[in-house]
């Protein structure tokens, strides 16, 4: 749309390319003040001179002066001297009308292209909104049809209705999704079931999220402190476990020493028993020998 507007804004005025009749170009507005000029001729050529000046200035007001130089109701009666100017103005008007018609066709083509792009955007939005498809008839026109030269206009009510229906469907789906999201959030926000505006609810939800964020920060700080305490406790436990392992090893060594001492004591006791038995045997033999000697 901007390119079409720029092209139209830079288009030259169709009146700028006209070349005036050399026989009429000699008269200027300055000659109207000349006392040597016949007043009757000055009155007759005054409008022609003014129109020539307007045409030279490049404005669009020269075409509006045509009604004053032609017709029975004009300010001056037509004359042979004005025929060249009248033909010139008629040609300028025809060219101007043709240029307006070309601009109108370009504008209509641009509008038709924009409507087609808008229709494509609507179809893309519908496709992304839960696979909603546009309810468009196969034979429906894709955009507004171009106006005919006689001023008539083709019927575009059906395509306009389809476009509006598609847009309404997209808006309805979008509102449903927003409402569903708000209702889901309301389940987790205190007081979310109360009747209130969406703006008020969203502010309350934002405040609640801020409170949760503050609580989460406090909880994170407490968890960090507990994690540090747990690390210290684990370090202490590892130190105690190392000491316990050392004590267990020492106890095993002592137990082994006690066992060895017990074994040695048992062996010594066994040897003492043997020695005692031998001593008793020797004592008995000695007693027997003494008794034998006493009998002799």
C-alpha 264/C-alpha 64 separation (Å) is: 145
Residue 13 confidence (pLDDT) above 80: no
Q: What is the pLDDT of residues 130-168, one digit of tens each?
A: 444 444 444 444 444 444 444 444 557 888 888 888 888
Enclosing H/E stretch for 183: helix 157-186
Residue 240 confidence (pLDDT) above 80: yes
Mean pLDDT of 275-284: 91
The pLDDT assigned to 214 comes to 94
Residue 20 has which token pair?
């005036």
Domain map (residue ranges) of the chain: 1-187, 194-271
The pLDDT assigned to 150 comes to 47
Q: What is the pLDDT of residues 189-209, one digit of tens each?
A: 888 777 778 888 888 888 989
The pLDDT assigned to 105 comes to 81
* pTM (global) more than 0.95: no
Among the residue ranges 32-41, 112-121, 205-214, the one predicted with the least confidence is 32-41
The pLDDT assigned to 92 comes to 73
C-alpha 120/C-alpha 126 separation (Å) is: 10
Segment of 80-84, 119-123, 165-169 carrying the highest mean pLDDT? 165-169
Q: Is residue 153 classed as helix, strand or coil in its secondary structure?
A: coil
C-alpha 201/C-alpha 185 separation (Å) is: 10
Distance (Å) of CA 166 to CA 6, 135, 156, 170, 179: 32, 7, 16, 6, 20
C-alpha 265/C-alpha 225 separation (Å) is: 59
The pLDDT assigned to 195 comes to 79
Residue 37 has which token pair?
């000029």
- Looking at per-residue pLDDT, the higher value among 167 and 81 belongs to 167
Q: What is the pLDDT of residues 247-256, one digit of tens each?
A: 999 999 999 9
């Amino acid at each position: 749309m901007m390119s079409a507007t720029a092209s139209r804004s830079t288009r030259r005025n169709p009146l700028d390319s006209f070349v005036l009749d050399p026989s009429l170009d000699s008269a200027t507005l300055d000659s109207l003040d000349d006392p040597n000029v016949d007043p009757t001729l000055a009155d007759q050529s005054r409008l022609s001179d003014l129109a020539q000046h307007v045409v030279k200035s490049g404005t669009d007001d020269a075409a509006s002066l045509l009604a004053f130089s032609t017709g029975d109701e004009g300010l001056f009666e037509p004359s042979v001297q004005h025929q060249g100017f009248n033909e010139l103005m008629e040609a300028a008007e025809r060219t101007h009308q043709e240029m307006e018609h070309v601009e109108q066709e370009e504008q209509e083509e641009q509008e038709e292209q924009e409507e087609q792009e808008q229709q494509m955007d609507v179809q893309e939005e519908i496709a992304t909104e839960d696979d909603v498809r546009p309810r468009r008839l196969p034979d429906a026109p894709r955009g507004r049809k171009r106006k005919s030269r006689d001023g008539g206009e083709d019927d575009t009510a059906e395509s306009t209705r389809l476009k509006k229906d598609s847009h309404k469907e997209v808006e309805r789906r979008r509102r449903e999704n927003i409402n569903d999201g708000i209702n889901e959030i309301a389940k987790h926000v205190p007081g979310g079931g109360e009747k209130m505006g969406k703006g008020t609810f969203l502010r309350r939800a934002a405040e609640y999220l801020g409170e949760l964020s503050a609580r989460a920060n406090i909880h994170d700080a407490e968890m960090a402190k507990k994690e540090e305490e747990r690390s210290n406790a684990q370090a202490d436990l590892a130190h105690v476990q190392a000491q316990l392992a050392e004590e267990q090893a020492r106890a095993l060594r002592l137990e082994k020493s006690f066992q060895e001492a017990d074994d040695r004591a048992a062996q010594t006791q066994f040897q003492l028993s043997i020695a005692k038995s031998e001593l008793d045997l020797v004592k008995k033999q000695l007693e027997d020998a003494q008794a034998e000697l006493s009998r002799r």
